[in-house]
Amino acid sequence: MSQNGTITSYLDENRRFLPSKEFLATAGHTQSEFKHLQKLASGDPLAFWDQMARELQWQHPWTQTLQGEAPFVRWFEGGKINASQSCLDRHAHSWRKNKAAIIWEGEEGEVVTLTYGQLHKEVSEFAALLRSEGVGVGDRVAIYLPLIPQCAVAMLACARIGAIHTVIFAGFSSDSVRDRVHDSQCKMIITADGGRRKGKIIQLKKIVDDALSDIKEECVKTVLVYSHLKIDMAMKAGRDWLVSEKLAQLKNGDQSAASLDASHPLFILYTSGTTGKPKGIIHSTAGYLTQVSATAKWVFDFKDEDIFWCTADVGWITGHSYLVYGPLANGATVFMYEGAPLYPAPDRFWSMIEKHKVTILYTAPTAIRTFMQSGDEHIKKHDLSSLRLLGSVGEPINPKAWMWYHSVVGQDRCPIVDTWWQTETGGIMISPVPTMTATTPGSATYPFPGIDIDIFTQDGKTCEMNDGGYLVVKSPWPGMAQGIWGDNERFLDTYWSKYPSVYYTGDGARRDEHGNFWLMGRVDDVVNVSGHRLGTMEIESALVSHEVVAEAAVVAIDDEITGQALVAFVTLKNDATRDSSLHELLRNHVAQQIGAFAKPKAVRIVEALPKTRSGKIMRRLLRELAQSGQVHGDTTTLEDIGVLQRLKELDQEEA
Ligand code: WT7
């Protein structure tokens, strides 16, 4: 059932690792505290979430923990809250005022530290600026920024006034920016002159200009620009403003934290699905914040001395939940790095861990495999003794990479938390708790307390032990998505129609004799390349939008570093001339349509695609062919067996 088939190789994995004595001796929380919570959650999940929610700062308490029927439920109904107060005000008004909230390092090695006091001040001022620009409760604001502290400032400022932010990863192309801004009808875009990547400058403001140049309706009234790199840029009169100048003009602005309903939307984040159009996942304020705050506290075992580095970009859900909202709600110090992992040298990560004394590292398997390949010597020359806990997220981590992470990076002392969750779940759903859980390489272990997860057969029964099935969530959880922006039908259809009142994750999984969950990859046309979620349909639509392309079929194959990689099979229009530069041209076309990270690994130009008699492209055959050069599966439904023969011949020619 899995697209990448990796699970078969983990079936015999039975190594078990208990938290080391060293870890337990200095852990932030005790086993008995957690056992108490587990007990509470298993007896009364709502009472458990109530207790978690009480750790936030509320303006007015809620009257009902959970209201309504899945999927349209409301958590903490009646409560009034503002996410920026839980993340900032209460810390800024405590002894944490001078504690670092964000330590940022740029690619060129520059370092900026913002204390809770400073971050609170910056966010409050920026909130006042947003208000003075006419942004109000419920308005959508796009944020298209490199990974700099201003990203967190902009997000929290939106939260402060009740505007709904939609962060667009700075690797997305102008077309993708335009689609997202248009879909959510943003009133404003917050961007920067540029960002850095591998020593090069990416001119973000220019990309925004391109995106806005052909937007049909004029929804965007204002573009606020941070001068991050101090490079020249064009400014459109009446629309574009420098943040620094606007702030200097602002007097006596309203910096207050709006009083918002618990289920007021905090943000929209676009993610890929099985159609060509990305979906704007909506998250609530209180439910989302409760889940990310509680999971951050228990899964990352936060204590006040920690320096927590989540390597994700803020443009993805991991950056929202564990670089901004989760850690800041806990008053933790986060480390943020704008730049490429191996730049300017393969030891960049390890030198920063040593320099900033990072204690917890949360990264993706694709990064782990890249480091593994670049050689242990880059790690061994640095003192990583500050590290006490390691995390993994985004895709299944293969046992070999897990063991390497454990022994080389963690020096056998740091527990690993392999955390399973999704953009739609808001926060972590399945993960070890480092003080408690015996971990097995490759398994995300057990559901977090209060999370009701199961594995279903096709007809909705719980799977037998070790049988693969569909991963589902049977009861509402606080961080659950509230919908897809502007498309309730798609929301119901994608997640809530396969099984009544049960959330369908789109992942395959099995459970072993210890109750450990083993994730088996996506069961739909969503693939995971370097921890980035991509829909094969999206890439196909990008390809067919090129004038020479007639048809395209995109499949995923296993890749040692990126987990999965994309191979595109393309047929050309009759009059198109085929030359050797066409492959590269089409790869670049995808980069231009979506973003460079979505480029297929290979483009194959073929005469015809294998189809069933009813005209459906048989992607399964293409996948087999791309993966192994062979087709073993059933080909009886294939309309023209000759097509397959010609594809195989082409494959041999290319090899
Ligand atoms: C998909 C969600 C979770 C935030 C980053 C990605 C896969 C995620 C794991 C894991 C196995 C994982 C799933 C999921 N996934 N974490 N620990 N083990 N698979 O968020 O872009 O929404 O992607 O990533 O397939 O459905 P996303």
**306 within a domain of the structure (yes/no):** yes
- Give per-residue pLDDT as tens, 214-270: 766 679 999 999 999 999 999 999 999 999 999 999 999 999 999 999 999 999 999
Find the 270 Cα to ligand 1 centroid distance in Å: 15
Which ligand 1 atom is at minimum distance from the Cα of 431?
17
Residue nearest to atom 8 of ligand 1 (CA): 394
Write down the pLDDT at residue 213. 92
Cα-trace Rg, the chain:
24
Find the 583 Cα to ligand 1 centroid distance in Å: 30
Domain match, 64 and 116 both: yes
Please, which pLDDT band fits residue 386 given cuts at 50, 70 and 90? very high
The 3-state DSSP class for residue 164 equals strand
* Mean pLDDT on 548-563: 93
For residue 7, pLDDT over 70 is answered with no
Write down the pLDDT at residue 216. 65
Find the 624 Cα to ligand 1 centroid distance in Å: 24
- Cα–Cα distance measured from residue 143 to residue 324, given in angstroms and rounded to the nearest whole number: 14
The 3-state DSSP class for residue 25 equals helix
- Cα–Cα distance measured from residue 90 to residue 586, given in angstroms and rounded to the nearest whole number: 52
Write down the pLDDT at residue 414. 98
Find the 231 Cα to ligand 1 centroid distance in Å: 36
Find the 533 Cα to ligand 1 centroid distance in Å: 8
Find the 394 Cα to ligand 1 centroid distance in Å: 4
Question: Across all residues in the chain, what is the average pLDDT?
Answer: 94
Q: Of 528, 529, 564, which is best to mutate to test ligand 1, by the most ligand atoms within 8 angstroms of its C-beta?
A: 528
- Cα–Cα distance measured from residue 279 to residue 184, given in angstroms and rounded to the nearest whole number: 10
- Cα–Cα distance measured from residue 302 to residue 472, given in angstroms and rounded to the nearest whole number: 29
Residue nearest to atom 5 of ligand 1 (CA): 394
Find the 300 Cα to ligand 1 centroid distance in Å: 18
- Cα–Cα distance measured from residue 54 to residue 73, given in angstroms and rounded to the nearest whole number: 19
Which structural domain, as residue segments, surrounds residue 578?
530-654
- 306 and 353 Cβ atoms separated by less than 8 Å: no
Domain match, 163 and 236 both: yes
Please, which pLDDT band fits residue 652 given cuts at 50, 70 and 90? low
CATH number assigned to the domain comprising residue 558: 3.30.300.30
**517 within a domain of the structure (yes/no):** no
Find the 435 Cα to ligand 1 centroid distance in Å: 23
Which ligand 1 atom is at minimum distance from the Cα of 526?
25
Find the 509 Cα to ligand 1 centroid distance in Å: 12
Q: Of 299, 419, 422, which is best to mutate to test ligand 1, by the most ligand atoms within 8 angstroms of its C-beta?
A: 422
Domain match, 537 and 389 both: no
Counted domains in the chain: 2
Q: Which amino acid is at 454?
A: D
Residues 185, 186, 191, 193, Cα dihedral to 10°: 60
- Sign of torsion, CA 637 640 643 646? positive
Domain match, 240 and 312 both: yes
Domain match, 472 and 539 both: no
Q: Of 507, 520, 522, 530, which is best to mutate to test ligand 1, by the most ligand atoms within 8 angstroms of its C-beta?
A: 507
Residues 6+ apart with CB under 8 A from 176: 168, 278, 593, 594, 595
- Cα–Cα distance measured from residue 17 to residue 178, given in angstroms and rounded to the nearest whole number: 47
CATH number assigned to the domain comprising residue 183: 3.40.50.12780
**195 within a domain of the structure (yes/no):** yes
Please, which pLDDT band fits residue 6 given cuts at 50, 70 and 90? very low
Placement of tokens 């961080």 in the chain: 479
Q: How many residues are listed for the chain in this entry?
A: 655
Domain match, 47 and 154 both: yes
* Mean pLDDT on 128-139: 98
In the structure, which protein residues have their CB atom closer than 6 angstroms to any atom of ligand 1?
Answer: 271, 317-318, 393-396, 418-423, 444, 505-507, 519, 522, 528, 533
Domain match, 453 and 574 both: no
Higher pLDDT residue, 2 or 552?
552
The 3-state DSSP class for residue 26 equals coil
Find the 94 Cα to ligand 1 centroid distance in Å: 36
Which of 495, 511, 542 is where one domain is finished? Answer: 495
- Cα–Cα distance measured from residue 646 to residue 649, given in angstroms and rounded to the nearest whole number: 5
- 399 and 442 Cβ atoms separated by less than 8 Å: yes
**387 within a domain of the structure (yes/no):** yes
Which ligand 1 atom is at minimum distance from the Cα of 272?
21
Write down the pLDDT at residue 30. 95
Residue nearest to atom 21 of ligand 1 (CA): 533
Write down the pLDDT at residue 217. 65
Find the 470 Cα to ligand 1 centroid distance in Å: 14
Sheet holding 260-261, edge to edge: 58-60, 80-81, 260-261
For residue 654, pLDDT over 80 is answered with no
Write down the pLDDT at residue 651. 63
Domain match, 167 and 52 both: yes
- Cα–Cα distance measured from residue 183 to residue 220, given in angstroms and rounded to the nearest whole number: 12
Q: What percent of the chain has pLDDT over 70?
A: 97
Q: Which of 12-16, 31-35, 605-609, 650-654 has the highest mean pLDDT?
A: 31-35
Write down the pLDDT at residue 434. 98
User: Which residue in 649, 549, 630, 565 sits closest to 395, CA to CA?
Assistant: 565
**251 within a domain of the structure (yes/no):** yes
Domain match, 571 and 436 both: no
Domain match, 464 and 420 both: yes
Please, which pLDDT band fits residue 4 given cuts at 50, 70 and 90? very low
Residue nearest to atom 16 of ligand 1 (CA): 394
**96 within a domain of the structure (yes/no):** yes
- Give per-residue pLDDT as tens, 474-498: 999 999 999 999 999 999 999 999 9
From 25-29, 216-220, 312-316, 349-353, the region with the lowest mean pLDDT: 216-220
Find the 393 Cα to ligand 1 centroid distance in Å: 7
- Give per-residue pLDDT as tens, 507-540: 999 999 999 999 998 998 899 998 889 999 999 9
**Would you list the DSSP string of 511-577?**
E-TT--EEEEEESSSEEEETTEEEEHHHHHHHHHTSTTEEEEEEEEEEETTTEEEEEEEEEE-TTPP
**369 within a domain of the structure (yes/no):** yes
* Mean pLDDT on 333-358: 97
Q: What percent of the chain has pLDDT over 90?
A: 85
Q: Of 533, 564, 597, which is best to mutate to test ligand 1, by the most ligand atoms within 8 angstroms of its C-beta?
A: 533
- 425 and 479 Cβ atoms separated by less than 8 Å: yes
Domain match, 435 and 485 both: yes
For residue 356, pLDDT over 50 is answered with yes
For residue 553, pLDDT over 60 is answered with yes
Write down the pLDDT at residue 357. 98
- Give per-residue pLDDT as tens, 419-432: 999 999 999 999 99
For residue 280, pLDDT over 80 is answered with yes
Domain match, 548 and 467 both: no
* Mean pLDDT on 544-564: 93
Which ligand 1 atom is at minimum distance from the Cα of 528?
24
The pTM assigned to this predicted structure is 0.94
**515 within a domain of the structure (yes/no):** no
Residue nearest to atom 7 of ligand 1 (CA): 395
